Structure 1
Amino acid sequence: MPWLSIIGLGEEGVEGLSPAARALLEQAELVVGGHRHLALAGPLIRGRRLAWASPLADTLPELLAHRGRPVAVLASGDPFFFGVGSTLRPHLDPGEWRCLPQASSIALAAARLGWAQQDCPVVSLTGRPLEGLRPFLQPGRGLFVLCADGQTPARVARTLSDWGLGETVMTVLEALGGPRERVRATTARGFDLADVDPLNLLALEVRPGPGARILPRAPGLPDDWFEHDGQITKREVRALTLSSLAPRAGELLWDVGCGSGSVSVEWLLAHPANRAIALESHPERAARAVRNAADLGVPRLEVRRGRAPEGLEDLPAPDAVFLGGGARDAAVIERCWEALRPGGRLVANVVVVETQQVVLEAWQRLGGSLTRLSVERLDRVGGLHAFRPAMPVLQWVVEKG
């Protein structure tokens, strides 16, 4: 029989628990939970109470020391939906636990508003920066936001207004499912709600104003959306580069010589689980890459100062590598190829002849495909117009077998 019971709890307290959950809670020698959860479940707790430490991981040794004896862990709603269940799972073997979930706060919010849960992304701002909202703000779409505290809704309102989304409808849902439940709606620009309960979440109906920058769902952001000093993979070439890198959910990119970080940013925008490590030796460019990532909604970009190949030591193995500024050194190509996971992709964009020679030698050894990319943009010629060609880019793409 499982020794650990993970029990979802609503704001109505023990009144909402099933007979099975009530029995497991009463039989537990140790009950672990937040102070609020322990108070809500107080009438049924017979064993010792243990409040989570901060961080939660500090409590795990004491909890796991009770392995084999009846233990109950209390969580909000569904423990495996942005909950403590995901923290516990890596430390448990199959069959050691049972979970008795309640309706999550998102399920309750969707029920109150009549929204289809499957159509609405969920973003958590608990311990995460507000900029992470940006990729999910799509016109006419709804999303749920899990808030860190009672001040989060006001901060979100100010940020949305700054981003040109002041007409977005914000519904604040507080203490759902309990006697203190309250649902109030306003706009981001007109936000004036006071005394917001710390236990709250937001439902956003996105309404952009003129000039609002809405992140597209395909690669190729405008160049002027990035802060740069000219060291940037240009929009058209960047879109093709992302196609060649072929990002898949949860994969890691090495961006070697990242410049403005534009390729890393668009890699991360491809999926919220994607990761990227950008290496840049120039301090100002590294700082720009950090700012660009934050401004465009992917502050999780990890930017490292250093030169390749030395700066690549001790990094986790990548699923894809982009050489924008690091391909002129054959040792860098070799280091990246050795580190690349099987099935991984290496993409190098080169312009100057000397670097092309290095890449051609690598292509002869490792194979792959070579493509010459040429872009012409309309420009003024005196009082008239003509297409002005940019320097052609040689792109090498190779997949590791």
Structure 2
Amino acid sequence: MADPERADVTQQEAGGPVVTVVGIGDDGWDGLARAARDELSRAGVVLGSERQLDLLPAVVRARRVRWPSPLVPALAKLVDAHADTRVCALASGDPMFFGLGTTLVRELGAARVRVLPHPSSVSLACARLGWALDTTEIVSLVARPLAAVHPALTAGRRLLVLSADRRTPARLCRLVTDRGFGGSAVTIFEHLGGPAERRRDTRASALTGDDFIADLNLVALELIAGPQARHLPRIPGLPDDAFEHDGQLTKREVRAVTLARLAPAPGELLWDVGAGCGSISIEWMRAHPACRAVAVEPHAERAGMIARNAEALGVPALRVVAASAPAALDDLADEAGVPDAVFIGGGLTAPDTITRSWEALRPGGRLVANAVTIESEVILAKWHARHGGDLIRLAVSRASPVGGFAGWRPMMPVTQWTATRPHDQ
């Protein structure tokens, strides 16, 4: 049991009141460990959703405060308003797994947050199914678009999807079926870990309604590819026809080399300047769920294509800026963040585009620029002479029919410059 005086000292050291986050399952008070029960019993205020607060028995005498809506803008003030008492916050399952704990740490700082976790819904689901948690992919659709599941659809994989509400399973199964995975085995868990727990097993193509599904549910899928399912890997170089485009597309072979040079890493931000149909920024974001990108494209029709491609290929969070470079880059760092990498696929000959892109990069960031015209090649040659890096030419030929035979049809060669901004600039 924690010492109350020691708790006060911790609050002073932390720079503000400390909130204890207690993970709670659908089994409520009965499923809590002793440490969690003791903390709630000593609390002066307990914050939580109406459903979570109703799980607490009368022995918890703290004042119960429901979360406001919207939650995040009010979070810090709500905790600070109860600085004169012990504050506990209830969170579903493991608060640090797509949960309230991560939000509180982000808003208050780790020193002001203490977490007492409960088994997460995915841990319980894997236990019920006999699946290894470390080899099961997890996608959350809570406050996220359904399209976020697209990159995870790979034949033979096991997938757990955290549902937003009762409609999620049917919507998810329609998407999975439309992608050619209608034969996939589907298990829907409702109220996992609680007295009302229920399991339903079906096939993706067979689930059509949500009349008898609870809002609190999780969907497990064993993905089985049908003959119409298309393999769309996360490594760079998707087929050209995976994108809607009007010809302004970095072709598959050049795109794979370009992304290898851009070298996406989790959490990094890309500026895709002159984005065309968005193929580079979309494949950058598909490399890892934490990768972020901004696509800058002056033509409204192509900006619309980018948004549609991002939705269809599972990266709906891609930000599209329908404006011309270099003007579009002026305030972009303040609005979107300093880029870790910049790709210039169009607009090289516009005055200052490459200069502003280079200056916007963080020290150690990468710039990759592709050129197909002599005029833009001259610009890249000058920048290579000034800053070094790699200047290469990519030439690709594809086999195509020549009468009754096959011959090589060359694509336009691409000159590519890659450089890393020095740390002393």
The alignment's TM-score, normalised by the length of structure 2, stands at 0.92
User: Structure 1 residue 190 and structure 2 residue 203: aligned?
Assistant: no
1:377 aligns with 2:398: yes
Match for residue 267 of structure 1? 284
Contact 1:254–1:320, Cα closer than 8 Å, also in 2: yes
Question: What do residues 15-48 of structure 1 show as CA deviations (whole Å, max 9, x unaligned)?
Answer: 1122222121122111100111000014333121
> Which residue number in structure 2 is paired with residue 392 of structure 1?
413
1:355 counterpart = 2:343: no
C-alpha distance in 1, partners of 2:158/2:203?
14
2:47 aligned with 1:32, yes or no?
A: yes
Once the two structures are TM-superposed, the CA of residue 119 in structure 1 deviates from its matched residue by 0.5
AA at the equivalent of 1:48: R
Match of 2:56 among 4, 24, 41: 41
Aligned partner of residue 273 in structure 1, secondary structure: coil
1:365 & 1:330 partners in 2: Cα distance?
17
Verify the 8 A CA contact 1:260 1:292 in the aligned structure 2: yes
1:64-116 CA-to-partner distances (Å, cap 9, x unmatched) read: 22235201100111111111001111233454332111111111101100110
For residues 68 and 112 of structure 1, the distance between their equivalents in structure 2, rounded to whole angstroms, comes to 43
Distance 1:190 1:93, change over 3 A: closer
Report whether the alignment pairs 1:210 with 2:227: yes
Instruction: Give the equivalent residue in structure 1 for 2:189.
Output: 173
Native 8 Å contact 1:31 1:45 kept in 2: no
C-alpha distance in structure 1 between counterparts of 2:95 and 2:248, whole Å: 46
Helix, strand or coil at the partner of 2:352: helix
The one-letter amino acid of 1:294's match is: E
Work out which of the residue numbers 226, 236, 254 in structure 1 matches 2:271.
Answer: 254
Secondary structure at the aligned position of 2:233 is classed as: coil
Matched, 1:367 2:384: no
The 5-angstrom pairing of residues 97-116 of structure 1 reads: 97-116=113-132
Whether the 8 Å CA contact 2:53–2:64 is kept in 1: the answer is yes
Distance 2:88 2:117 in 1: 13
Counterparts of 2:122 and 2:184, CA distance in 1: 19
Matched, 1:163 2:175: no
Is 1:153 aligned with 2:169? yes
What SS does the aligned partner of 1:24 have? Answer: helix
Contact 1:258–1:325 under 8 Å retained in 2: yes
SS at match of 1:386: strand
Higher mean C-alpha displacement, 382-391 vs 280-289: 382-391
Residue 355 of structure 2, aligned match among 302, 321, 334? 334
Partner residue of 1:80 out of 92, 96, 118:
96
> Is 1:143 the counterpart of 2:159 in the alignment?
yes
Partner of 2:299: 282
**Is contact 1:330-1:358 (8 Å) kept?**
no
Give the letter for the 2:25 counterpart. G
- Structure 2 distance, partners of 1:168, 1:260, is 32
Is 2:105–2:112's contact at 8 Å kept on the other side of the alignment? Answer: no
Contact 2:179–2:228, Cα closer than 8 Å, also in 1: no
Is 1:71 aligned with 2:92?
A: no
- Which deviations, in whole Å up to 9, do the C-alpha atoms of 1:107-131 show, x marking residues without a partner? 1101100110011111111111111
Give the deviation of 1:238 after TM superposition.
0.4
**Partner in structure 2 of residue 56 of structure 1:** 71
SS at match of 2:169: helix
By how many angstroms is 1:330 displaced? 4.6
AA paired with 1:78? D
1:233 aligns to 2:254 (yes or no): no
Please point out which of 333, 339, 346 is paired with 1:318. 339
Residue 145 (structure 1) shift: 0.3
Judge conservation of contact 2:326–2:351 (CA < 8 Å) in 1: no
Find the aligned partners of 2:150 and 2:68 in 1 and give their Cα distance.
32
Cα distance in 1 for residues equivalent to 2:379 and 2:367: 15
User: For the Cα contact (< 8 Å) 2:19–2:79, is it kept in 1?
Assistant: no
Q: Provide the rounded CA distance (Å) in 2 between the counterparts of 1:282 and 1:217.
A: 27
Instruction: Describe the SS at the equivalent of 2:219.
Output: strand
1:242 pairs, out of 252, 255, 259, with: 259
Amino acid at match of 1:47: A
**Matched residue type, 1:394:** T
How many angstroms apart in 1 are the aligned matches of 2:138 and 2:71?
Answer: 22
2:3 aligns with none
Give the AA of the match of 1:218: I
State the distance in 1 between where 2:81 and 2:276 align.
49
Alignment deviations for residues 194-237 of structure 1 (CA, whole Å, 9 cap, x no partner): 41111000111001111212321321011011111110000000
Residue 355 of structure 2 aligns with an amino acid whose one-letter code is E
Compute the displacement of 1:58 (Å): 4.1
Q: Which moved more, 1:53-62 or 1:346-355?
A: 53-62
Which segments of 5 or more consecutive residues in structure 2 lack a partner in the other structure? Answer: 1-6, 11-17
1:116/1:313 Cα in 2 relative to 1: closer, same or farther (>3 Å)?
same
Distance of 1:277 and 1:67 partners within structure 2: 40
3-state secondary structure, aligned to 2:377: helix
